[in-house]
Amino acid sequence: MLEINNVTKTFGTGDSLFQALKGVSLSVKEGEFVGIMGPSGSGKSTLLNLIGTIDHPSSGTVTIDGERASNLNQEDLAKFRRNQLGFVFQGFNLMPTLTVAENIVLPLTLDGEKVSVMTKKLNDISEVLGIESLLNKRISNISGGQAQRVAIARSMIHEPKLLLADEPTGNLDTKSSKDVMRLLSELNTSLNSTILMVTHDAFAASYCQRIVFIKDGELSDEIIRHSSQSEFYDDILFSLKQLEGEADDF
C-alpha cells in the first residue's frame, strides 16, 4: 500500500540547511494500522506531510498503491489527494458554518458526485460511526469527541486507500480519546482500512498493530504487537524510555 524508499527532506539554504529526514525507508501493507512515534522535532510530521503529498521529498520516493505523487501535475495531484487519501487532524479542520452532514460530504461535493450517491454514503458512514443524530447540527453545537468522529467520517466517506491521522486525540479528554481510538481500530478491523497515525500518546499508540520510532530524522526502532493491548502499551513505554530516557517527553 505504501512504500517509502530512502527519503530525505532538507529545509533552508546555504548555512542554514536543516535535514529533517535522513534516508527514511518504510513499507506499510494494506490493512495495517501503524503508529509513528518520536520526540518533538524528530521528523514525524514532516514524514506524514510527505506521505500526504502536502510536501515533496528532497530525494527518494513515496509510492502509494503503485502511484508516485511526484510524477503528477498539480491538478492530478489534488485529485489523487482527494480520492486516495483521508486526513484526520488534531484540530478537526471542520467548517463551522456548515452542518455535520455538509462537512462529511464535502470531499464528494468537490468531486461533483451525484446527490443520491452522496446521500447513501453519508447514511452508511454515519451509521458506522454512530453520529446519525448529529447530521443536522452545526459544528459549534457538538462536543470535541463528536467533532473528531465527524472528521473521521469526512476522511472515510470517499473510501480512501490510506488514512493519515496526525495526533487525532491531542485535543480530546480521556473518554473521548478512548472512543476515537476504539473507532479507528474498528474501522481498521471491519473495513480493512490502512491507517498511519502520528502520536505522542502511548495509550493511543497501543491500538496500533505496529509502532515505528523516529529520532533525529531517522527510523530508530520498530515493535510489533504480539499480545494484549496492555502488554503492548508496556512495550511502547519501554521503547520510548530506551529512545530518550523518559517516556514523559513524548
Could you read off the pLDDT of 194-223 as tens digits, one per residue?
999 999 999 999 999 999 999 999 999 999
DSSP annotation of 138: B
Task: Identify the pLDDT of residue 245.
Answer: 66
Paired strand residues for 35: 197, 211
Host domain of residue 244? 2-249
Q: How many domains does the chain have?
A: 1
Q: What is the CATH number of the domain that holds 131?
A: 3.40.50.300
pTM for this model (two decimals): 0.86
Could you read off the pLDDT of 122-141 as tens digits, one per residue?
998 898 888 999 999 999 89
